[in-house]
Amino acid sequence: MPEGDTVFRTARRLHDALAGRIATRFDVRVPGSATADLTGERIHEVVPRGKHLLLRIGEATLHSHLKMEGHWDLYRAGERWRAPAFRARAIVGTAAVDAVGFDLAMVEVLPTADEDRVVGHLGPDPLSPEWNAAEAARNLASDDRAIHVAVLDQRHVAGFGNEYANELLFVRGVLPTTPASEVDTLALMETGARMIRANRDRLGRTFTGDTRPGRQTWVYRREGKPCRRCGTLILGTELGADPTAERIVFWCPRCQI
């Protein structure tokens, strides 16, 4: 599942391949930005912001969001793509490399000066040099909703998705339904930052420290299985800000109280 660490690695791969080069191909296949053409412009950088990618070219930015299924692939010029062409939503090419975004849920070309319109609402990003744990903690503490719901609100803190929310709450011993205003949110954010920073350079995400298949998580997708810490069976349900935004939630009824 693409979360902040996945987006960070994607941005780094794209930046290393594209930054400083001239765009020789630019093709956006979504309404609203399909006529944009940045061919001939210099690619400055690729920057992650929470779960968003900002590819800055000339004086414009190609903004994308991976959501659940999206991904960016890199190909040598002329190399056959590994996914069908009809799934491509954005293509940025140089003389040597093509970057192709498949199944992107959100794609838009906008002036770089207007980036705040698409990412200005985001809270602090634990993978950013400007990370501010205290600000993220204050944002969460002001929310009376369930802490699991609050952590997923990207306006409070940017980059944590559902897998991180489940694992983080287990590690801190917090029941997912606890009101965020009753949680030690600073400790929660400090732990979360350590988690996502530890995973940002790994190809295989792990929360337990064990990278073997089936051993990477404490509770996520482990409903009905014994807790790795105490042996109690893991429970599962769904939570969300509203019925259309519910996410699967897992917890240990003994370790999280």
- Residues acting as catalytic residues: 2-3, 51
The answer to whether 124 and 158 are in contact (CB under 8 A) is yes
The DSSP element (H or E) to which 21 belongs, if any, is none
Structure tokens given for 71: 């991904």
The answer to whether 30 and 107 are in contact (CB under 8 A) is yes
What is the distance between the alpha carbons of residues 119 and 221, in angstroms, rounded to a whole number?
30
Burial of residue 132, with CB atoms counted within 10 A of its CB: 0-12 exposed, 13-18 middle, 19 or more buried: middle
Sign of CA pseudo-dihedral 48, 243, 156, 171 = negative
18: three-class secondary structure by DSSP: helix
CA 145, 146, 147, 151: dihedral to nearest 10 degrees?
Answer: -70
